[in-house]
Amino acid sequence: MERILVIGANGQIGSELVEALAAQHGAHNVLASDISTTNLYNAARYTTLNVLDKDALCKIVTDEGITQIYQLAAMLSATGEAAPLKAWTLNMDGLLNVLEVARERGAIGKPLRIFWPSSIAAFGPNTPAVNTPQMTVMDPTTIYGISKLAGERLSEY
Ligand SMILES: NC(=O)c1ccc[n+]([C@@H]2O[C@H](COP(=O)([O-])OP(=O)(O)OC[C@H]3O[C@@H](n4cnc5c(N)ncnc54)[C@H](O)[C@@H]3O)[C@@H](O)[C@H]2O)c1
């Protein structure tokens, strides 16, 4: 039985994903979370969580016996360009907190499965748009794209 935490659940992807996960795993096994105090899409289970607060994240993972995390909290393209340092901090430190909690849980025999979306923004103007090879040029030009490319490498690491 999976116990699932969705971070950034009030967003475009999260709002759809929580519903789909609840249908698949049972609403009582899916905990929606967002920095907002408002349960915007009436998730069956909802909590406020700032992904940059690692202690709070750890507590939820332990208390709820979480086995999977979907980390969706991010600043995207145009918003990121308006505040690049803020975007970098949220996108990278948020992911790092989740990966670090997974590493710590793994070390005590309680593995966590992490899902984290990258983006087409990880590619740039020199990436061939037709017949794009699996290994290709990745030269993102936005802070959002740069954080996604770094996040891909970090997750593999
Ligand atoms: N929407 C797309 O088409 C698309 C495409 C590719 C990848 N993605 C990726 O999917 C993920 C979600 O995208 P989205 O479109 O749903 O974004 P969104 O902006 O709609 O939602 C992001 C959510 O994160 C929350 N959030 C912000 N700061 C937070 C924090 N510190 N702690 C917790 N929550 C916080 C926001 O309140 C918001 O509800 C992102 O990583 C994005 O890069 C989205």
CA of residue 12 to ligand 1 center, whole Å: 7
Mean pLDDT computed over 18-41: 98
Q: In the prediction, which pLDDT does 63 show?
A: 98
Q: What is the full DSSP assignment across 39-78?
A: -TT--SSEEE--TT-HHHHHHHHHHHT--EEEE-----HH
Mean pLDDT computed over 86-112: 97
Q: In the prediction, which pLDDT does 156 show?
A: 96
Query: How far is Cα 6 from Cα 29, in angstroms, rounded to an integer?
Result: 11
Report domain extents, the chain: 4-119
* Ligand 1 binding pocket, CB closer than 6 Å: 7-8, 10-14, 34-36, 49-52, 72-74, 76, 90, 117, 119
**Cα 21 vs. chain centroid, distance in angstroms?**
15
**Mutate which of 6, 16, 34 to test ligand 1's pocket (most atoms within 8 Å of Cβ)?**
34
Q: What is the per-residue pLDDT across 31-72, written as a single tens digit (0 to 9) for each?
A: 999 999 999 999 999 999 999 999 999 999 999 999 999 999
The protein residue whose alpha carbon is closest to atom 31 in ligand 1 is 50
For the domain spanning 4-119, the CATH number is 3.40.50.720
102 three-class SS: helix
Instruction: Decide if 70 is catalytic.
Output: no
Identify the DSSP state of 115: E
Q: What is the per-residue pLDDT across 66-89, written as a single tens digit (0 to 9) for each?
A: 999 999 999 999 999 999 999 999
Task: Phi first, then psi: give them for residue 48, nearest 5 degrees.
Answer: -85, 130
pTM here is 0.98
The protein residue whose alpha carbon is closest to atom 20 in ligand 1 is 11
Query: How far is Cα 114 from Cα 99, in angstroms, rounded to an integer?
Result: 8
Q: How is residue 32 written in tokens?
A: 């929606």
CA of residue 117 to ligand 1 center, whole Å: 10
Mean pLDDT computed over 128-152: 97
Q: In the prediction, which pLDDT does 155 show?
A: 97
